[in-house]
Chain A
Amino acid sequence: DAEITQSPRHKITETGRQVTLACHQTWNHNNMFWYRQDLGHGLRLIHYSYGVHDTNKGEVSDGYSVSRSNTEDLPLTLESAASSQTSVYFCASSESTGADTQYFGPGTRLTVL
């Protein structure tokens, strides 16, 4: 069965370190998204990609970057982790536009000390 996976599931890091969160999907979807989820804010879009070599900024992209070298993977990098980036991060993919069904991964809980 097709799926979307994230790793690691939990990560603790220190302020200023570079961190990369992995996202891998076997749906063969062109569209992939990264969100962060914080209490009271719901899901906020960080970056999204509509295909290989395509990346776009979402509403909370400062301090984050992504790259899309193949269809299956969209790693999210925190260049210099800050305590404000402590959150739960979700990756999602969809077959068509963002209005299409988004299939979410299980999430990565990141703590920045």
Chain B
Amino acid sequence: TQLLEQSPQFLSIQEGENLTVYCNSSSVFSSLQWYRQEPGEGPVLLVTVVTGGEVKKLKRLTFQFGDARKDSSLHITAAQPGDTGLYLCAGVRKTSYDKVIFGPGTSLSVIP
């Protein structure tokens, strides 16, 4: 059972289009991270959101943490081929240690 679900699993769009990918869970997280992974490489952290309702912008990427801290979204404006990659969300739960749970990822392909 996936604690974190991401949708869509695959997305192929034309350059210049906008898109939103979602990260959902029934669990509450203390924070949520978004990573991007390119083929043959390890994931690279894009952003961490901590407060419910928080919105962070990174150039054309907008990240939002749900009010209840159970879900998050990533919106890309005017997608470019360089945005192609696997987008992973990771929820952090504070137990005896900071447990990081990764979602299965959304594979994005931006066609020139």
User: Does B42 interact with chain A (Cβ within 8 Å)?
Assistant: yes
Q: Judging by beta carbons under 8 Å apart, are A107 and B41 in contact?
A: yes
How many residues from B make CB contacts under 8 Å with A?
23
Task: Write out, one digit per residue, whether chain B residues 40-74 have a CB within 8 A of any chain A CB (1) or not (0).
Answer: 11111100100000000000000000000000000
Residues of A within 8 A of B44 (CB): 104
- Contact partner of B105 (CB less than 8 A), chosen from A42, A92, A100, A107, is A42
| Chain B residue with Cβ nearest A44 | B102
Q: Judging by beta carbons under 8 Å apart, are B41 and A106 in contact?
A: yes
CB contacts under 8 Å to A, within B1-19, are: 2, 4
Q: Judging by beta carbons under 8 Å apart, are A40 and B104 in contact?
A: yes
Residues of B within 8 A of A28 (CB): none
CB contacts under 8 Å to B, within A45-68, are: 45, 50, 56
* Chain A contacts to B: CB under 8 angstroms: 4, 35, 40-45, 50, 56, 90, 92, 97-102, 104-107
